[in-house]
Amino acid sequence: MIQRRFNRTQRIDLYLRSGGTCESCGVRLPRGWHADHDHPWSLGGPTHVSNGRALCATCNLRKGNGLSGTDTFQMRRKQLDLSNLTCTRASARDPKIVIGHLFPGFGKEWAWEHTAAMLMRRDLIDASVAFTPRTNLCTQAEMNWYARDKKTGAESGRRLLYADPVPQKFVWPNGNQQPFYNETDREFGYVTTYSALTTNREPHIRWAKQHAGRFLLVGDEAAGLGGLAMGASEAESEANLQGECFAAMRQYAAATLLLTGAPERSDGRRLIECADRYYQMPGKKRWLLDADVKGLYREGVAGGILRPIEVMYVDAQGREVFDDGSELAVSVSEDGSLISKALRNADCYEPMCDAAIERVLGLRNQFNHFYGGGIACMDTNHARDVYEYVSQRARKHGLSVAIAVSQDGASARAVLDRAKQGGVDILIFVRMAWIGFDWPLMSVLANLSNVRFYSYLIQLDGRVLRVAPGIPAEWQRAYLITLDDPVSRAFHREMVRDSERGLLERGPGGPPPPPGVPRDIRDWVVGDQRHEVLDEEVDAGVWLDQLQVKYSIRMPMDKFGELVRDVQQATPSPSVATATAEKPVDDEMEGDAAPETSQDRKARNGQLIERNARKLAGKRCKAAGEAFAVAKDYVSRKLSEGTYWGNEGNVPEARIVAKLEKSREWCRREGLDPD
């Protein structure tokens, strides 16, 4: 018989969890208080403490069964824990922040959106505001609120499979555009970047005051928000403008939720507003975060939502030449300071790129699926050098290659969208595909970045750790190619150990992978590589069918086969030429260009300023007899005088335009043609 009423033990748990107060109105619970189902029992809600609330009789009778139907989704355990704890503290008017330390892939975004929905249903909030470090996370937060069919990915037109009442959506206002959202359209708050707080904090503070006590404040990927020096008190550390503004908004919030994939910032500082939540293990140097809810990598592997990891280490070796002509053999495995020099050298990064390409080909041959790979680079120039090399190598095997760097603006975001839809095989990036980029079929990653902070490595590795749908979890692995430097070696040693523990906890699953799946390769030396060329024939019908699925092509198979043959022969026939004439495809940048945003314009204007600065520096270099670097530094400083100039995301667009006009004026005055 299915249990409907909470038993004595469960009622005690609910009473203790609520602190003896009603979780809706906050009054002291009288005798005869009600143990209530959060999700109604009549609509399938389980009689479990995680679905229970301690209410006074008045609040429970007022609530009734307010849902229009049945929620048809299934939340993960950690997501529910975060939601329930936040609701409990909001009901008790407990100002303590709820901290969720969830490894990338646990679903932090859906966790806070679900929390907002549950707080709304309990009439504890009227809106929610969330801050993230990057614009792509803002876009995802807005678009992912709509339900999508698990198999086809098509929008169903309803929210994430919730019954009413539920928020309509969370709006991304794109900067500080006001009003932030439209309440008349049932929009339930907004999501924006941390940099918006630096650009203009006043509208956000004003909004918080207007909604005092009735909104949820969320810091998603909180490692991007301010920071405090490890071991220092709040008074001894300097919080940046973002952190100060977030703290100011917090005092007006009904509940505050901080979510992070790493226990600290990339610069080693503690998360903002968490000074009292860190501790050290005896004899250890690293500080640990005392989060309310933790989702570790090991738990993700055990639960089948994260892939176990296999690492290929590359020990780049070279010769250091001194002024006296003497030489010394050096290796990144012994000296981590050589990472940048090694990765700039084509003799180092080209073999690592080759290894990534071969592993992608091996996975595709083994599983007959559209696995992909990623290559993380140091900066834009480095990424373009890598792109040029990889394009030549990958296309020999029929793999498409694309690059996404912030300087390319809207076209780069179009590349990321195309990758998520399966239109890219090898993606080259710097940081655009870092935090929040979700492409589960990317399972191979070559780390050509020189950043070695643990928080950065956690987020970067997280891009290839999500289990892809449609393939048994026990068949999936994440393959990482990285230098064998001390920090990377120590970090990935922990990852591999946690991966193995997670597999032991997962227990027996389905049938093992087919024979021939590549196993772990360690201690890789650049000079000792073996290249495998796949020449196995594929049935033409199966291949065409896969192409149609990959590129979402709706065309009869015979017509599609004719189109493919024409493309291979480079002589399109009239029967299919008209089908493709309306949408030309660029080899390097496929897909429709996204609308230009303020960030795109800022990036484009920044490129024009750079060109003008180089022209001016070149003329000054010749006239004053200075080195080009010195002349360039002088011009850059002079152009910045009178204008605020910092990180691209923190600069108002009007000031960038002013600097551009100033550079053009200088060029004209010096007899140069401005860009």
CATH number, residue 45: 3.40.1800.10
- Residue 559 domain-assigned (yes or no): yes
Same domain, 309 and 290: no
- Checking if the pLDDT of 556 tops 60, the result is no
- Checking if the pLDDT of 231 tops 80, the result is no
Q: Helix (H, G, I), strand (E, B), or coil: what is residue 96?
A: coil
* Alpha carbon 380 to chain centroid, angstroms: 19
Structural domain total, the chain: 5
- End-to-end alpha carbon distance in the chain: 77
- Residue 674 domain-assigned (yes or no): no
Question: How many whole angstroms separate alpha carbon 338 and alpha carbon 315?
Answer: 11
Same domain, 108 and 247: yes
Same domain, 29 and 118: no
Average pLDDT score over the chain: 77
Name which of 112, 94, 11, 5 is nearest 53 in CA terms: 11
What percent of the chain shows pLDDT beyond 90? Answer: 26
Q: Identify the domain boundary among 276, 295, 314.
A: 295
| Mean pLDDT value of segment 324-339 | 84
What percent of the chain shows pLDDT beyond 70? Answer: 75
- Residue 467 domain-assigned (yes or no): yes
Question: How many whole angstroms separate alpha carbon 498 and alpha carbon 421?
Answer: 31
Which pLDDT band, with edges at 50, 70 and 90, does 243 fall under?
Answer: confident
Q: Which residue has the tokens 């227990």?
A: 507
Same domain, 517 and 565: no
Among 36-40, 151-155, 165-169, 576-580, where is mean pLDDT lowest? 576-580
Which pLDDT band, with edges at 50, 70 and 90, does 266 fall under?
Answer: low
Same domain, 229 and 268: yes
The angle formed by the CA atoms of residues 115, 120 and 126, to the nearest 5 degrees, is: 115
Q: Identify the domain boundary among 256, 275, 295.
A: 295
- Residue 591 domain-assigned (yes or no): no
Domain range holding 428? 304-525
Handedness of CA 386, 388, 392, 398 (dihedral sign): positive
- Checking if the pLDDT of 591 tops 50, the result is no
Among 8-12, 342-346, 372-376, where is mean pLDDT lowest? 8-12
Q: What is the pLDDT of residue 527?
A: 39
- Residue 532 domain-assigned (yes or no): no
DSSP 8-state symbol, 27: P
Q: Which residue has the tokens 């936040």?
A: 86
**234-239 long-range contacts, CB within 8 A, separation 24+:** 234/275, 237/269, 239/272
Backbone angles phi, psi at 279, to 5 degrees: -150, 165
Among 28-42, 474-488, 526-540, 563-577, where is mean pLDDT lowest? 526-540
Same domain, 151 and 119: yes
Same domain, 81 and 9: no
Same domain, 17 and 40: yes
Q: What is the pLDDT of residue 42?
A: 62
Same domain, 621 and 568: no
Same domain, 4 and 104: no
| Mean pLDDT value of segment 385-414 | 91
Among 13-27, 379-393, 552-566, where is mean pLDDT lowest? 552-566
Question: How many whole angstroms separate alpha carbon 348 and alpha carbon 317?
Answer: 9
Q: What is the per-residue pLDDT across 449-481, written as a single tens digit (0 to 9) for each?
A: 999 888 889 999 999 999 988 778 888 899 999
- Residue 582 domain-assigned (yes or no): no
Same domain, 570 and 623: no
DSSP 8-state symbol, 123: T
Which pLDDT band, with edges at 50, 70 and 90, does 429 fall under?
Answer: very high
Q: What single-letter amino acid sits at 216?
A: L
- Residue 592 domain-assigned (yes or no): no
Same domain, 122 and 60: no
**64-69 long-range contacts, CB within 8 A, separation 24+:** 65/40, 66/121, 66/165, 67/39, 67/40, 67/43, 67/121, 67/163, 67/164, 67/165, 68/163, 68/164, 68/165, 69/43, 69/163, 69/164
| Mean pLDDT value of segment 501-517 | 64
Question: How many whole angstroms separate alpha carbon 405 and alpha carbon 184?
Answer: 38
Residue 573's CB is within 10 A of a number of other CB atoms, namely 11
Which pLDDT band, with edges at 50, 70 and 90, does 597 fall under?
Answer: low
Q: What is the pLDDT of residue 644?
A: 44
Among 186-190, 270-274, 480-484, 643-647, where is mean pLDDT lowest? 643-647
| Mean pLDDT value of segment 347-355 | 92
- Residue 331 domain-assigned (yes or no): yes
| Mean pLDDT value of segment 119-146 | 85
Question: And the tokens for 497?
Answer: 């150990």
